[in-house]
Amino acid sequence: MNTQDHISQEYNEELEALRSKALTMGGLVEENFTGATKSLLKGKTQLAQHIAKEDYKVNALEVSLDEDCSSLIARRQPAAIDLRNIFAVLKIVTDLERIGDESEKIARFAAELDNDATSMKFYSSLKSLIISAREILSSALDCYARLDADKAMEVVQLDSGVDSEFMNLNRTLTTYLLEDIKNIEDTIKVMWCARSIERVGDHAKNICEYVVYVVHGNDIRHITDEEAE
């Protein structure tokens, strides 16, 4: 192997290590979101308190990944697909960090709830929203792991489903507030959680859009916004 091949192999390994670290961050964020929503659904206060404390790990990975991107660009002067790969990491870590923040918020509210969500009338709608959001996040990370742009385009479409489930749940919660004023504080906490869950869907959609950008080089952000509303 000549020096040029050696450098090129090292470079590829660095790029792969970067993507792999972003996927590790994705795995951690997914775990926290699953834990936070589980604690919300099942009233698991201890789990909620644990998740609320875990976000610093996500934040540390964000800072470290941004540094890795910066160092790679400065040392390797990437172009074309390599540069797109690095750009995608820079953008995806921002979305992952925000999903981490939303999971932390959900966990904090879950820990504060006086009543078990299972006893609430809107439990099944909440559960359904959570399952949809988990599915879109998991699929988005899967698309990124496989760099599957076709699947990513399909997953982007799922976000409007999450949005309409959120709007329906929101209407149900408003009606519930009118009927059962004594549980008002808990109901509002569930509303904030529902909003956070809906935001996770948005971030998962963004991740899919970056997958398309890496693979095809075209930026599809905001093109599908009108349909999704």
Which residues form the interface with its own copies (CB under 8 A)? 56, 59-60, 62-63, 66-67, 69-70, 73-74, 77-80, 83-84, 87, 90-91, 94, 174, 177-178, 181, 184-185, 188, 191-192, 195, 219, 221-222, 225
Q: Which is nearer to its own copies, 1 or 80 (CB)?
A: 80
* Distance from C-alpha of 10 to C-alpha of 115, rounded to nearest angstrom: 55
30 vs 27, 71, 161, 197, 225, CA distance in Å?
5, 27, 19, 12, 24
Minimum distance between the CB of residue 94 and its own copies, rounded to whole angstroms? 6
* Minimum distance of its own copies from residue 217's CB (angstroms): 10
Asked if 169 and 126 touch (Cβ cutoff 8 Å), the reply is: yes
Q: Give the distance from CA 173 to its chain's centroid.
A: 24
Q: Which is closer to its own copies, CB of 33 or CB of 210? A: 210
Residue type at position 125: S
CB of 79 to its own copies, least distance (A): 5
For residue 35, count other CB atoms closer than 10 A to its CB. Answer: 21
Is 38 or 61 the residue whose CB approaches its own copies more closely? 61
Query: Quick one: 32 or 38, whose CB is closer to its own copies?
Result: 32
Query: What does the H/E/C string look like for 62-90?
Result: HHHHHHHHHHHHHHHCCCHHHHHHHHHHH
Complex with its own copies: residue 42 or 50, whichever CB lies closer: 50
Q: Shortest approach of its own copies to residue 21 CB, angstroms? A: 16
Q: Is the dihedral of CA 36, 40, 44, 46 positive or negative?
A: positive
Q: How far is the CB of 30 from its own copies (least distance, A)?
A: 20
Residue 123, phi then psi, degrees to nearest 5:
-50, -45
**Based on CB atoms, which residue is closest to its own copies, 1 or 79?**
79
Query: d(Cα 139, Cα 32) in Å, to the nearest integer?
Result: 16
Tell the smallest beta-carbon distance from residue 115 to its own copies (Å): 16
